[in-house]
Amino acid sequence: MSTHETKEHWEEHYAARDRIWSGRVNVQFAEIVGDLPPGRALDLGCGEGADAVWLAERGWDVVAVDISDTALARAREAARDRGVADKIEFVALDLSVGFPAGEYDLISAQFLHSKVPLDRWSILKQALGALRPDGLLVIVDHGSAPPWPSKLDRHHEFPSAEEVVAGLELSDDEFEQVRVDSVERQAVGPDGEQRPWMDNVIVVRRRAR
């Protein structure tokens, strides 16, 4: 699928409503990184910017990437409203064909799923290569199909946390598996109903050289 087609898909996704996501930081992500000293962070698939803004409020310098101009416009507005616009660089980029330059103390991949083709393994492996010594890659994935009817379960595979780690092909000499876990949470469905849903939580640290 071309970048134009992928971008068109995500523009249609965000145009469906004035706001798609809650505007709150992802809970698992906040628990993992909340006590870390700030540094330079990369947010892959930042959406409407909730995680990037939360990081910036805690002193991080953030590069926030998404393919959707609509999502990025909302993220920029959120950053301005919360007084951290100067802490975040928003980048429009198709991660299937490019990756942000530089090295990072923290790289976040929160629910980096897609209904259209996306080479997640390539993106996540590039993220590993962009970590500074002692830097963390934090991945939070859906560990199962949605517990309500959804197009996502017909277009997406849901590997376990252990399968995600295996797909990263980590070198034990270079990377430490800090956390590989599955966590149940209460998710809110399209009609407001709450049902349990599993998340994969993977934290990988690049060993100091």
Q: For residue range 18-49, what is the model confidence (pLDDT) as tens digits?
A: 776 566 898 899 999 999 999 999 999 999 99
What confidence score (pLDDT) does residue 155 get?
Answer: 57
Here the tokens at position 172 are 């034990």
Note the pLDDT of residue 148: 61
Helix, strand and coil in the chain, % to nearest 5: 30, 30, 40
For the chain, how big is the Rg over CA atoms in Å? 16
Q: For position 89, what pLDDT does the model report? A: 98
For residues 200 and 168, give the distance between their C-alpha atoms in angstroms, rounded to a whole number: 14
Q: Quote the pLDDT of residue 183.
A: 87
Element (H, E) at 103: none
* Spans in the chain with pLDDT lower than 50: none
Q: Domain containing 48 — which CATH number?
A: 3.40.50.150
Classify 154 in phi/psi space as left (phi over 0), alpha (psi -120 to 50) or beta.
Answer: alpha
- The residue segments making up the domain with residue 117 are 3-206
Asked if 198 and 184 count as a contact pair (C-beta separation under 8 A), the reply is yes
CA end-to-end distance (rounded Å), the chain: 38
Number of domains in the chain: 1
